[in-house]
A = this chain, B = another copy of it.
Amino acid sequence: MKIGFIGIGNMGEPMARNLLLAGHEVAVYNRTLHRAEGLGKQGARIAVSPAEAAADADVLITMLADDRALRGTVLEGGGPAIGALRRGAVHISSSTISLELSKELEQRHAACGQGYVAAPVIGRADAAAQKTLWVIAAGPPDQIARCRPILEALGRGITVVGEEPWKANLVKIGVNFVLASMVEALGESYALVEKHGVDPHQFLAVLNGGAFQSPVFENYGTRIADHRYRPAGFSLRLGLKDTQLALAAAESAAAPLPFAGVLRDRFLQALAYGHGDLDWAAIAEIARVNANLIPSLEAGG
């Protein structure tokens, strides 16, 4: 299939490469073009505008940071992708975006005779490279069916959560909220045991060995115990954005989310220290700051 791929960042770059390796023809676009050069050497065609990436694609994939970036390339800006995408083509949106934008994309693509599937992914850049992402997909069954070979080329599993695309975005927002809650729970419990003289690594050994037995707890738990937040697999600034997506989804459903309120304040305190570029797991350090274990948020090693 001919694929257009917009957004060649930490995640998009390895995802697009896996599509090349699976034998697809891929045209890539990134706002700062040089990030796409590596893929060019590996056989991708480099497009100089969103419209050019979309022009003759069967499937357009977008993997962008937030609502604004997606809106600015697909719906608005000079030469938006939607205007160039042909009738019958499908847009697979893998970005973590708001329910509202996802609903708007569904309508706009339908009006253009184009398909739209939301397919955000779980996993960080290393998982993208190793093709171990998990894809959350939602959209009309026939469009999902058409996109399935491509989605399978991106990760280790797919869960289809409904026929309305925005439901995949909702599930992704929910998963990130639970992940952030785990980070905060680790931060608070580490601060508690550390202040009483117990090494958080030892606590983690019990917590994960004796209870959770989860690679995610192992990975985040070790990173936090080591105070290792650079390079950011997923930045604190984006973590705040995702927490706000959860709060916005909660508001449109009239569902209180007290943990999300706590998380929001943790992200803001970290940003007040100027550390928006650290890995989002760094919010775990706020519990240590507020217990006066460390004077301020600092990146480890």
Question: What is A's interface to B at a CB cutoff of 8 Å?
Answer: 99, 122-123, 134, 136, 157, 159, 161-162, 167, 170-171, 174-175, 177-179, 181-182, 184-186, 188-189, 191-193, 195-198, 202-203, 205-207, 209-217, 244, 246-247, 249-251, 253-262, 264-266, 268-269, 271-273, 287, 290-292, 295-296
Contact = CB atoms under 8 A, between A and B. Distances in A.
A171 B159 contact: no
Contacts of A249: 192, 196
B269 A291 contact: yes
A236 to B, nearest CB: 12
A254 B292 contact: yes
Contact of A212 (B196, B214, B250): B214
The 7 closest A-B pairs by CB, nearest first: A261-B261, A134-B210, A214-B214, A256-B265, A181-B185, A272-B292, A255-B291
B216 A211 contact: yes
Contacts of A188: 177, 181, 255, 257-260
Contacts of A251: 244, 264, 268
